[in-house]
Amino acid sequence: MSFWCLLLGLAACESDPVILDPNGAAPRVDAGPSADAALTPDAACLEETVFGPFDGAQYDRLIHPLLIGACEGCHLPTARGDFYAIWPGAQGTCGYADTFEAFRARVDLQNPAASVIYREAASSDERHPVKLDGPQAELLFAFISNAAGCVAGDPGCRPETPEVLTLDGFTALVQPALDRYNCTLCHGTGAGGLTIYREPEAGSNLIRYNHQNIVENYCDASVPQCDRFINYGINGHEASTPLAGEDLVRVRRWAAGDE
Mean pLDDT split into 10-residue runs, the chain, 259 residues? 34 37 35 57 73 83 83 65 64 83 90 90 73 85 90 68 74 92 87 87 87 81 70 72 84 76
Tell whether 114 and 194 lie within a shared domain. no
DSSP 41: B
Distance (Å, whole) CA 38 – CA 231: 33
Residue 118 φ/ψ, nearest 5 degrees: -75, -45
Residue 187's pLDDT is what? 87
In a domain, 162, yes or no: no
Same domain, 19 and 125: yes
pLDDT of residue 222: 56
123 lies in which domain range? 5-151
Give the contacts of 231 (CB within 8 A, at least 6 positions apart).
none
Residue 117 lies in a domain: yes
3-state percent breakdown (helix, strand, coil) of the chain, nearest 5: 50, 5, 45
Cα–Cα separations (whole angstroms), residue 21 to 2, 29, 95: 10, 11, 23
* Residue 1 to residue 107: CA distance in whole angstroms: 10
DSSP 184-239: HHHHTTTGGG----SSPPTTSHHHHHHHHHHHHHH-BTTTTB-HHHHHHHHHT-TT
Tell whether 36 and 133 lie within a shared domain. Answer: yes
pTM over 0.75: no
Residue type, 68: I
pLDDT of residue 13: 43
Q: Residue 80: its pLDDT value, please?
A: 44
Amino acid 32: pLDDT? 43
Note the pLDDT of residue 259.
58
181/216 same-domain check = yes
Same domain, 36 and 112: yes
> CA separation (Å) from 76 to 79, 121, 192, 199?
6, 16, 30, 36
The pLDDT value recorded for residue 124 is 64
Same domain, 130 and 212: no
Q: Is 86 left (phi over 0), alpha (psi -120 to 50) or beta?
A: beta
Helix H or strand E encompassing 7: none
